[in-house]
Amino acid sequence: MTAVKIRILCATVLLGYALLAQAEIHPSAQLPMAPDVKVGKLPNGLTYYIKKNAKPEQKLELRLVVKAGSILEDDDQRGLAHFTEHMAFNGSTNFKRHELVSYLQSIGVKFGADLNAYTSFDETVYMLPIPTAKKENIHTGFKVLQDWAGGLSLNDADIDSERGIVLEEMRIGKGFGDRMNKVLMPKLFNGSRYADRLPIGQEETLKNFKPEAIKRFYKDWYRPDLMAVIVVGDIDPAEAEKLVHSHFGGLKNPEQPRPRSYAPIPSRAYSESLVFLDKESPANMLYIRYAIEPYQEETDFAGYRRKLVEGMVMAMLGQRMNELTQQAEPPFIQGGGTVGKVAHGYKSFSALAVLGKGGPQPAISALVQESERARQFGFTASELERIKKGMLRQVERLYNERDKSESAAFAAEFMRNFLVNESMPGIVNEYAYTNELVPGVTLEEVNAAARKLLPADQHKLVVYLGNDKAEQPAPKGEQLLAAVNAAEMVAVKAQDEKVYATSLMDKPPRAGSIVKETVNKALGLTELTLSNGVKVVLKPTDFKNDQVLMSAHRFGGQSLYDAKDMFNARYASTIVGQMGLLNYSPTDMQKILAGKTASSGASISTLTEGLRGGSGSNDVETMLQLAHLEFTQPRKDEALFASFIGKQREMARNALLMPEAVFGDTLTATLYNNHPLAPRAPRVEDFDQIRLDRVMEIYKERFASARGFTFYLVGSFEVAKIKPLLATYLASLPTPSIPVDYRDQGIRPVKGVVKKEVYKGSEPKSRVALVFTGEAKYSEEAQMHMQAMLEVLNIKLIETLREKMAVIYGGQISGGLSKRPYGAYQIQTALPCAPENVDKVIAATMELIRKMQDEGPDAADLDKVKQNWNTSHRKALRENGYWLSRLQGAALNGTDPAAAFLKYEQRVAGIKPADLQAAARRYFDKENYLQLVLYPEPKEQVAAKQAQ
């Protein structure tokens, strides 16, 4: 977490003028730059940021940031800012086409997951992580950035080859969202140029543009005065600065540079409405955008104050909006209001709601009137006090982790400073400001800010997005405006002040004891057996300074329940989690726990049940209290149950309107031959089968006893100090005898070759799924061989189907082995493509599989996979979450955890090409697979639906 995010995440510092004086800081004084960041500018205008950072070890995060995006495109360049980004990977001064990606893979950098880029309206950003174990990697990384900045080849043949790939990316984006944007964007941007310059561009331009057009864009806008180079990680800053000078000092600006300006957004002259209906809309939504106002990032303390006050008001308003969803008949499924950036130099207050069965009317009333209540009457003293507690705890955690923050997070912070001039004083400074100033924040100051910030009597845009299959007819535009105007006229009352408890438990439970303790020195584990039979595995680490993660598991889960209880069991833990603990609702719990960082939640999965939680180092006791209460004091609440069921019904109503959702649901149904217990997308009628009393019974059947549970705690704690807490809150859990093993419910995939087609959607989009299944004995070695084989196939998939054939933009083959409920494997492809290319995609994929079976992998490709795995593993070894998941996974699968941690690289080194070939022969059975293809509906069928 970066220091600058304190202002957004905590959003509670109020730097009043009097307090500033006390801190000897003048309101007009500029915020300082973080002292450990080197910011400089070359004579040609290129800006650079350099910071030495130790996490992750032996890794360098490089960025090239260009203040040039789609807004700068000429009429014959629509989409070429994004196309230029693509061409950065297709030939340059030092790397021929395909060489760059291949080289980076060879040093452990994975295309897409690590190496990436994006193009937006106003910027293009290239992201390059480089392993630093070999110094030549660093120099090559800088050479890559140098080529991106000024050395792209942009030859005609490579441009034409890339057209198909970019058009495939455009195709993937077609559908509800694309159709909505074409109607909505001109309204949202008040007719600004932004509405006509979506980064993906225009299909006609992408098909037919002349190479000169993209070369002109590159020449005009990729220039040093519009660029920043960011270097964060395991490198000496002086060395990094020399590399920046040597690689980028020679870049030159055009003799007559085009002016870099930002598109203006005109003020809204009157209120208006928009109703957009689409048969594939996944939800019915309401959106209100108020006046768009000019906005400039301020870098002095007065501006810092204004920004933080805004965030505080929005945080408290958001809490109030969230409470509305806890009603038995909530006004919306989700909703809230916030101030956000519209585009460079502009911001606006907006309100958004996902609608429930009541439609837009109750949502409009709630959104408008809650904002008006806060504007007129402000917030309560207790609300402010809770925000203060939360902010102080959050900034403390950020400060505690100041030497454990990820380099990528710092790089993102520096990007924002370059692009929008966002200040970055650093966590040490912000921690000092916060602790000195927050205690003096007054309620009067906050409420004055709310009156100024929240809109009143503004022109607005009111939007309804939905489908024409909803139970209620869609509103007319004039009805939306009338409803908003009527809501604004309703008199509101001040929020009632409520008093909440300050602790969860009046007194701790009667403690048990620790009856056995063993130490695993090799892995740094302490394993405890408690007096009630519960086991605990402790792994103290120094990976984070203020983080403790907890997980617990036991076999059983939904598998113990028959079809008549399927939905009660499937939703039991989720529903109970929605109702709170003791006598406290979830919103009550948030207020009671203000100022603490602690969570715990129970889950009942297919074959297991468990808990998952986390806390700061000082809040471990609170986390364990929550865990104890999950077992002993679940709460029943009829209103919250009704609210949950109502919201789920509404979401299920629209869940299968999108073609991709229908495809996924059909895939599961076909694969498991419509087995009644197989997981599938929920239907509205499913929720008619859920009964609160039965939900509570099932939850208590599984959690009234902690028998058979093993808890894992990983993070920044001392074993000696945590043991008394474990004895108090875990050893005291009841452990009556209950079944603690799973049941095989007999769910099996279909046999033979099954081919099926799904016709859904109006856009020219297809998707290919090939699913190979079968029985197999699970082992860690077999799993690694399969995963390595699939990783190599994915390299070949991109090389062949994307780069050579241009029939996909992206695709993946994934899979794995499972041990329970029986030894099995599953491999599945996800290949979006054009309908006319389906046969080519299937044939090419099958050919790649055949070559793997007959010839095995290229040794160079296997080496790329190994390098990436080892790089990722070394990084993961310093992450609490990795240890937690691998320890628990080893226990569930009955494998040796030492092999996962201590022998990983040795096992990776032992993988041979023949192992991958054998895996391909073993798992790709061409006499036993499912082939499912999504096609658009025939045009006459679409026309008939539209005429209905």
pLDDT of residue 432: 85
**pLDDT score at 23:** 42
Please write the tens of the pLDDT for every residue from 643-697: 999 999 999 988 899 999 999 999 999 999 999 999 999 999 999 999 999 999 9
Q: Taking the CB of residue 938, how many other CB atoms lie within 10 A of it?
A: 10
Bond preceding residue 254 cis, omega within 30 of 0: no
Give me the percent of the chain exceeding a pLDDT of 90.
Answer: 87
Q: 194 pLDDT exceeds 80?
A: yes
Q: Which DSSP letter does residue 268 get? A: P
For the cut 80, the answer to whether the pLDDT of residue 943 exceeds it is: no
Residue-wise pLDDT for 732-773, tens only, equals 999 999 999 999 999 999 999 999 999 999 999 999 999 999
- Residue 942 confidence class, pLDDT cut points 50, 70, 90: low
- Banded model confidence at residue 8, pLDDT cuts 50, 70, 90: very low
Domain residue ranges of the chain, discontinuous segments joined by +:
45-248, 272-400+423-489, 514-658+665-729, 753-940
pLDDT of residue 12: 31
Which CATH number does 514-658+665-729 carry? 3.30.830.10
Which pLDDT value is given to residue 27? 79
What mean pLDDT comes out for the span 131-150?
A: 95
pLDDT over 60 at 283, yes or no: yes
Is the distance from CB of 915 to CB of 788 less than 8 angstroms? yes
The CA distance from 765 to 832, in Å, is 7
pLDDT the model gives residue 20 = 36
Per-residue pLDDT at 882: 97
Closest CA to 50 of 236, 230, 234: 230
User: Using CA atoms, how far apart are residues 833 and 933, in angstroms rounded to an integer?
Assistant: 10
- The Cα–Cα gap between 790 and 784 comes to 10
Peptide bond into 237 cis (omega under 30): no
* Identity of the amino acid at 884: L
* Cβ contact 335:370 at 8 Å: no
Residue type, 286: L
Residues 880 and 897: their CA atoms lie apart, in Å, by 15
Spatial separation of the C-alpha atoms in residues 93 and 332, rounded to whole Å:
55
- Give 561-608 pLDDT, tens digit per residue: 999 999 999 999 999 999 999 999 999 999 999 999 999 999 999 999
Each residue of 47-79: pLDDT tens digit? 999 999 999 999 999 999 999 999 999 999 999
Q: Which residues are within 8 A (CB) of 349 and not within 5 positions of it... i.e. 6 or more apart? A: 290, 291, 337, 338, 339, 453, 454, 455
pLDDT value for 4: 31
Whole-prediction pTM value?
0.93
Kindly report the average pLDDT of the chain as a whole number. Answer: 93
- Name which of 577, 588, 589, 557 is nearest 636 in CA terms: 577
Residues facing 766 on adjacent strands: 833
Cβ within 8 Å of residue 652, ≥6 positions away: 681, 682, 683, 684, 686, 687
Using CA atoms, how far residue 103 sits from 97, 131, 165, 343, 735, in Å, is 11, 13, 21, 37, 56
Residue-level pLDDT at 754: 98
pLDDT value of position 304: 80
Residue 655 or 233, more confident: 233
Which CATH class for the 272-400+423-489 domain? Answer: alpha beta
Q: Structure tokens of 405?
A: 């923050």
Please tell me the total number of residues recorded for the chain in this structure. Answer: 948
Residue 169 sits at φ, ψ, to 5 deg, of -60, -40
Tell me: pLDDT of 234 over 80. yes
The label of the residue with tokens 């002292």 reads: 35
Q: Do domains 272-400+423-489 and 514-658+665-729 have the same CATH topology?
A: yes
Residue 444, pLDDT above cutoff 50: yes
Q: What is the Cα–Cα distance from 897 to 901, expressed in whole angstroms?
A: 7
Q: Summarize the confidence of residues 917-928 as an average pLDDT.
A: 98
What number is the average pLDDT over the span 445-462? 93
CATH T-level topology, domain 753-940: Cytochrome Bc1 Complex; Chain A, domain 1 (3.30.830)
Q: Which residues of 765-802 are buried (b: 16+ CB within 10 A; e: fewer)?
A: bbbbbbbbbbebebebebbbbbbbbbbbbbbbbbbbbb
CA angle 643, 649, 652 (to 5 degrees): 140
Residues 6+ apart with CB under 8 A from 223: 251, 252, 253, 254, 257
Radius of gyration of the chain, Cα coordinates, nearest whole angstrom: 29
State the residue for tokens 């004891």: 513
pLDDT computed for residue 501 by the predictor: 82
The yes-or-no verdict on residue 96 having pLDDT over 70 is: yes
Segment among 15-24, 315-324, 511-520, 538-547 with least mean pLDDT: 15-24
* pLDDT value, residue 948: 47
Q: Say what the pLDDT of residue 22 is.
A: 38
Q: Which of 838, 841, 842, 671 is nearest to 754 (CA)?
A: 671
pLDDT band at residue 307, thresholds of 50, 70 and 90?
A: confident
Complete DSSP assignment for 684-727:
GGGGGG--HHHHHHHHHHHHS--TT-EEEEEES--HHHHHHHHH
If one looks up domain 45-248 in CATH, what number appears? 3.30.830.10
